A = this chain, B = another copy of it.
Amino acid sequence: MMKLRLFTPGPTMVSPEALLEMAYPLDHHRTPGFKEMFKESTELLSYVFQTKALPLVLTGSGTAAMEGAIVGCCKPDTKTLVCHSGKFGERWVKILKRFKLPHVELTREYGHGIKAEAVADMFKKNPDIKAVIFVHSETSTCALSDAQGIAKIAREKGALTIVDGITSIGTLPFKMDEWGIDVAVTGSQKALMLPPGLGFAAVSDRAWEVIESHEAPCFYNDFKAYRKSQKEGDVPWTPNNQLVKGLRHTLRQIKAETMEAIWARSALMAKGTRAACKALGLSIYAADPVDSVTGINVPAGVADDAWRKTMRSKYGIHVASGQGELKGKMIRVNHMGYVDAVDTVGLIAAMEWTLAEQGYKFEMGAGTAAFIRVVSEGK
């Protein structure tokens, strides 16, 4: 018997109900039935993004949606500020470079989030910045940036705010309209509890003004093409109707649970996991830890690869290693989407059993006990 539990920060676990919903015979996308399903899905997505805008649904990954956001909002004759302190922020620099878009960079040490004050300083030195890009939850380091604070500064300075919300939207408190965010991007395989394959982008009226003012330098991920089709309940290129079917299902669940309850649940799982780590003598990688995914430093004497492999082979718990230079130095465990306290206490237990096998010294049961207390108090 092998029960697999994906604790990776994407793809996250997909419920059997959602998988079966997607196993239902598929209809064509140019039918009243599909259009209705698509309309309902975009309306529910706007609830998740906390915006009045109807998000675009791209057939592609979150990177596709970020490419569309960048080529639409960052023009060859304007300056963009890109903030990064991890692999995903670095990817957005690569996109800016690829399209030869002028930009300045604000970096911080890995594990630290981007603060509003640092962004304000960049505006002092570069008052001509017209767009600010940052990653709300940097999945590679499990660190949180101050989305609300950064958006406030950008709005005051008349610049657009573009947020990679791929591992934040649907998990962390995120209020697009209230915070004044202009483009927010996510993907299907994180908090939205689906397989990978769809990217989403919500766009403010201010951002549309910029996007509509020029021709995007790419074709497939051109937001204008998506906007034009979506007004007619359609998409420019053949959509993944299977994932849209699953999307309506998971979004209805999210609406029923409410965003506030989901935000509270993710925060509690993260808090409990951090408490468990502390009780086990394990340290957290990020100085500014995020509540969607926790990065735990691999303790001295423990072989990262063997630790993770045993967790999977013996207990069906699949956690991620670090990315790039952080590979082997940390494990990352997910709190997004279809994962609850029972799953997570199982993860902590599996960590304890496998750490003991590695000869790591700790009081057996201390991690699960700490987790259980946090959850008990949090309820």
Residues of A that sit less than 8 Å from B by CB: 4, 6, 8, 10-11, 14, 16, 19-20, 22-29, 31, 59-64, 67, 94-95, 98-99, 187, 189, 195-197, 215-222, 237-243, 318, 320
- Give min CB distance, A143 to chain B, whole Å: 20
CB of A23 within 8 A of CB of B25, answer no
Taking CB atoms, residues of chain B closer than 8 Å to A23 are 19-20, 22-23
Taking CB atoms, residues of chain B closer than 8 Å to A31 are 318
CB of A22 within 8 A of CB of B242, answer yes
Q: Given the interface contacts A11-B29, A241-B196, does A217 sit within 8 Å of B99 by beta carbon?
A: yes
Give the secondary structure class of A's interface: loop
CB of B28 within 8 A of CB of A64, answer no
CB of B240 within 8 A of CB of A195, answer yes
Taking CB atoms, residues of chain B closer than 8 Å to A29 are 11, 196
> CA–CA, A187 to B237, complex, Å?
11
Q: Given the interface contacts A217-B217, A219-B95, does A196 sit within 8 Å of B25 by beta carbon?
A: no
CB of B238 within 8 A of CB of A11, answer yes
| Interface hub of A216, A240, A318, A320 (most chain B Cβ within 10 A) | A240
Which of B26, B215, B220, B237 interacts with A195 by CB under 8 Å? B26
A-B contact pairs, 6 of them (CB 8 A): A8-B28, A28-B318, A59-B196, A63-B220, A63-B237, A187-B238
CB of A220 within 8 A of CB of B59, answer no
Taking CB atoms, residues of chain B closer than 8 Å to A238 are 10-11, 61-62, 187, 189, 196
